[in-house]
Amino acid sequence: MATTSVEMSSYRDQHFKGSRNDQERLLKGTTTLYVGNLSFFTTEEQIHELFSRCGDIRRIVMGLDKFKKTPCGFCFVEYYSRFDAEMCMRYVNGTRLDDRLIRVDWDAGFVEGRQYGRGKSGGQVRDEYRTDYDSGRGGYGKILQTKAVPNTDNL
- Interval 1-10: pLDDT, tens: 444 567 777 6
Q: Please tell me the distance from the alpha carbon of residue 73 to that of residue 56, in angstroms, as a whole number.
A: 23
Q: Phi-psi bin for 40: left (phi > 0), alpha (psi -120 to 50), beta?
A: alpha
Domains within the chain, CATH numbers bracketed: 20-108 (3.30.70.330)
For residues 132-142, one letter each, b for 16 or more C-beta atoms within 10 angstroms of the residue's C-beta and e for the rest, the string is eebeebbbbbb
- pTM, 2 dp: 0.74
* pLDDT tens for each residue of 65-91: 888 888 888 999 999 999 999 999 999
Q: Hey, how many other C-beta atoms are within 10 angstroms of the C-beta on 76?
A: 19
pLDDT tens, 9-68?
A: 766 777 677 788 888 888 899 999 999 999 989 999 999 999 999 999 999 999 998 888
d(CA 84, CA 52): 9
